[in-house]
Amino acid sequence: MALWFAKSRTIIHHLKREVGFMGVFHQNIWTSSSSSSYMQPGPLSSIFPFNSSQRFKSTKAASQHEHLYSTDDDGGDNSQADITYPPFSEEKAEGLDFPGGNVACISEMRFLSESTGMRIPCYSVLDGNGEIIVGSDYEQLSEEIAVKMYTSMVTLQMMDTMFYEAQRQGRISFYMTSTGEEAISIAAAAALTADDIILPQYREPGILLWRGFTIEEFASQCFGNKDDCGKGRQMPNHYGSKKLNFVTISSPIATQLPQAVGVAYSLKMDKKDACVVTYTGDGGTSEGDFHAALNFAAVTEAPVVFICRNNGWAISTNISEQFRSTYLFSCLLRLPFSFSCKGSPCTKPITLSGTIQCFFLSAFLSLGDGIVVRGRAYGIRSIRVDGNDALAVYSAIHTAREMAISEQRPVLVEALSYRVGHHSTSDDSTKYRSVDEIEYWKKVRDPVNRFRKWVERNGWWSEEEESELRSSMKKQLLQAIQVAEKTEKPPLKELFSDVYDVPPPNLREQEKQLRETIIRYPQDYPSDVPL
């Protein structure tokens, strides 16, 4: 085997040296000729897309490569005694040329540390009282946009409550809330345009709400009736809208990420003034698709913005168990919020300023420093933002979008937040985290209340408008649920349509068998589905 390998290297080197194999030394490759019995050199560029001048720019490195594989067969000496290497200091000054680029040399053996020792800071604009942190750099919001952001957040919060209760009553089969994370979807949606394409995970209904998806359309999807644009084929909460550039949600984790890069690359090819925005949770970053997508995006320079909702929990898996890099952040979430004041125990939660909150969110991230640092590993520009600060999220996504489109590059945004609700209606999060922890984030760190304080401080909102909004929205939600529940289901034939232009025999056979089963066991079939 060793002899075969040595001979193979010699043959490969001979081909490289004589015919420019793979474009390393020459720009010609052997091509057949009909007028002679031997091979003639032809242009290499017609086969390989790269130019040989980009390889081994250093003649010194090329010369060493020649000597390293020289043999008696091609006029060289099989020993390495005649190889002359330049002094190391000379190489150190010039560096070494490799196919991947020029690399500087050092004489010290040095391993990269697992951590830089410094935490990536968390970008925040509003403090806990809804006041602008002094010196903040942020995008200005008009009254119209700010009020729409706030009312959309309230609507999403109320919609989650009503649909969650409908599931608990057995009226729908499944639901997932966005409680505690409303700012990440609503503020991001406000910073985008209608032409930007969204590939969501499953806590982004706020984007659809912002773009005009009606309460009635949400209800129809959850009840799977004939007005559902997905024709009742998807689980509740798995929305989609071609009209609103919102790709239908799918349950498998992180599969949307590499797909988003492909969509973004198509926008790049078509020179569209738009980008792709895709979401995942902290659990999704443990999937291979996350890493494949980042590398794919970096290599193709696709205009895609990755938004990771780092909410502390991947279902019941805490981030301390998800990856090594966030153990201390987990400790922050678990800290008991009872302190002593002048010898007497404090009975009320202590409200921290926005600056202090930002410090704790960033400083308690440990060695690997969460998700944001993973972008740098793939050569992607990245930022960490306070996901409970709507103004910070808006500003970060607004700037990330501009970068993605104007510079044709991917951007990674890690939004630190907390999942206040259960993972879904199939989960009971009190089995793996304390009620006190949940209540703290629900009451003290609520992104909706935090943004409301800022809007009110600007004179754009009042208590009367708040009461009117909540009363009106409650009536609208109740009405939409009642109508959707009574609306007829899609007909049976829709179960087999929209895939093939002409259904194949096996699909026709399945439909036939299903109809025969319904006739045989009518009592086991839902009566509200037209045959």
State pLDDT tens for residues 174-184: 999 999 999 99
CA 415, CA 123: separation in Å to the nearest integer?
A: 9
Query: Is there a contact between 397 and 307 (Cβ–Cβ < 8 Å)?
Result: yes
DSSP, residue by residue, 41-73? EEEGGGT-SS-GGGS---HHHHHHHHHHT--GG
Fold classification of 143-322+369-488 (topology level): Rossmann fold (3.40.50)
Query: ∠ at Cα 390 (387, 396), nearest 5°?
Result: 70
Per-residue confidence band for 118, with pLDDT thresholds at 50, 70 and 90: confident
CA dihedral 325→255→417→205, nearest 10 degrees, is 180
Query: What are the tens digits of pLDDT across the range 416-425?
Result: 999 999 999 9
pTM of the model: 0.76
Q: What is the pLDDT of residue 325?
A: 54
- Mean pLDDT is highest, among 42-56, 58-72, 474-488, for 474-488
CA gap 429, 419 in Å, rounded: 10
Catalytic residue among 13, 238, 422, 423: 423
- In the annotation, is 424 catalytic? yes
Gap between the Cα atoms of 175 and 238, Å rounded? 9
Q: Which of 17-21, 170-174, 195-199, 486-490 has the lowest mean pLDDT?
A: 17-21
Q: Is 406 a catalytic residue?
A: no
Nearest to 448, CA basis, from 478, 475, 486, 420:
420
Across the range 369-378, mean pLDDT stands at 91
The pLDDT, as a whole number, for residue 84 is: 53
291 counts as catalytic: no
Residue 395 confidence class, pLDDT cut points 50, 70, 90: very high
Q: Per residue in 434-476, pLDDT tens?
A: 999 999 999 999 999 999 999 999 999 999 999 999 999 999 9
Q: Choose between 409 and 22: higher pLDDT.
A: 409
The yes-or-no verdict on residue 74 having pLDDT over 50 is no
Q: Choose between 338 and 266: higher pLDDT.
A: 266
User: When comparing pLDDT for 312 and 77, which is higher?
Assistant: 312
pLDDT for the residue numbered 94: 66
Alpha-carbon Rg for the chain in angstroms: 30
Q: What is the three-class DSSP state of 435?
A: helix
d(CA 456, CA 462): 6
φ, ψ at 386 (rounded to 5°):
-75, 105
Residue 29 has pLDDT above 90, yes or no: no
For the chain, give every residue range classified as CATH 3.40.50.970.
143-322+369-488
Q: How far apart are CA 180 and CA 442, in angstroms?
A: 7
Q: What percent of the chain has pLDDT over 70?
A: 74
Q: Are 186 and 153 in contact (CB under 8 A)?
A: yes
Please check the confidence at residue 169 and state whether its pLDDT lies above 60: yes
Per-residue tokens: 26: 């020459």
Q: Which of 90, 143, 165, 402 is catalytic?
A: 165
- Mean pLDDT of the residues in the chain: 81
- Of 12-21, 31-40, 152-161, 261-270, give the lowest mean pLDDT range: 31-40
Q: How confident is the model at residue 527 (pLDDT cuts 50, 70, 90)?
A: confident
Kindly state the percentage of the chain with pLDDT values over 90.
67
CA distance 155 to 396: 23
Q: What is the DSSP letter of 223?
A: H
**CB-based contact 387:417 (threshold 8 Å):** yes
**Among candidates 61, 104, 180, 257, which has minimal Cα distance to 418?**
180
**What average pLDDT does range 394-408 have in this prediction?**
98
- Active-site hit among 136, 250, 286, 424: 424
**Residues 6+ away with beta carbon under 8 Å from 399:** 139
What is the SS3 assignment for 103?
strand
Please give the angle made by the CA atoms of 369, 375 and 380, to the nearest 5 degrees: 150
Alpha helices in 132-287 (DSSP H): 143-168, 182-191, 205-211, 215-223, 256-269
Give the amino acid at 380.
Answer: I
Distances (CA, A) of 125 to 154, 332, 435, 450, 458: 21, 21, 29, 11, 15
The secondary structure element, H or E, covering residue 361 is: helix 354-363
Q: Which tens digit of pLDDT belongs to each residue from 183-236? A: 999 999 999 999 999 999 999 999 999 999 999 999 999 999 999 999 999 999
Q: Which of 32, 251, 353, 497 is catalytic?
A: 251
